Amino acid sequence: MSGPAGIGMTSDRTRGRMVEALRKGGIRDERVLAAMLEIPRHLFVEAGIASRAYEDTPLPIGHGQTISSPTIVALMTQLLLEKSLPAKVLEIGTGCGYQTAVLAKLVKEVYTLERIAPLMDKARRNLRDLRVYNVRFKHADGHRGYPEGGPYDGILCAATASHVPAALKEQLAVGGRLVIPVGTDDQRLHVIERTAAGFTEDKREPVRFVPLLPGIA
């Protein structure tokens, strides 16, 4: 297994237990599970809470943001890959870079946006330390997407929106898929697909995410 190995609660064995729990919890895509088995999640959180990195819970990463729980990372990635393996993916909300790293293990190109500059810098360092080089970063408002890199075979948004931003839909390639939490008090994952005739939208599991805020910080 490649990548840094820890000791105790951050060991390969602990990561293996996390993956087995995901499998028992209903994650079926072995490609997603293999990526999460390989990536050392404890390196993406502060040292003081590294022992909690493999718990199935979101954890604070500073600036009012969180790293999503392993189940949510696995579920959203599985939904993105449900029909086909995308070659180029856009991620909205880089955060600490953990979801970015999972995507980078699975697809050829990842473009990722983060509105909070210190978080983007932290994510860039995390991925560089793991020798992940197929990711392009941009400090930007996620509502606008990353049009110069599009169109995308897949878009994954790690913050909840009151509605699906039109710019993200327009940056999907025909046959592409957008996975995004939508709602305020009652949030659900929405899966939007672009067809030759337009868009389809399907509501999926209830979730809880931080809001997709406008502007940059």
Q: Are 60 and 51 in contact (CB under 8 A)?
A: no
Quickly tell me which residue has 């999926």 as its tokens.
204
Number of residues in the chain: 217
Backbone angles phi, psi at 107, to 5 degrees: -125, 165
Helix, strand, coil: what percent of the chain each, to 5? 35, 30, 35
Q: Compute the distance between CA of residue 103 and CA of residue 89 in angstroms, rounded to an integer.
A: 8
Instruction: Tell me, yes or no, if 51 is annotated catalytic.
Output: no
Q: Which entry of 68, 69, 84, 162 is annotated as an active-site residue?
A: 68
- Residue positions annotated with a catalytic role: 68
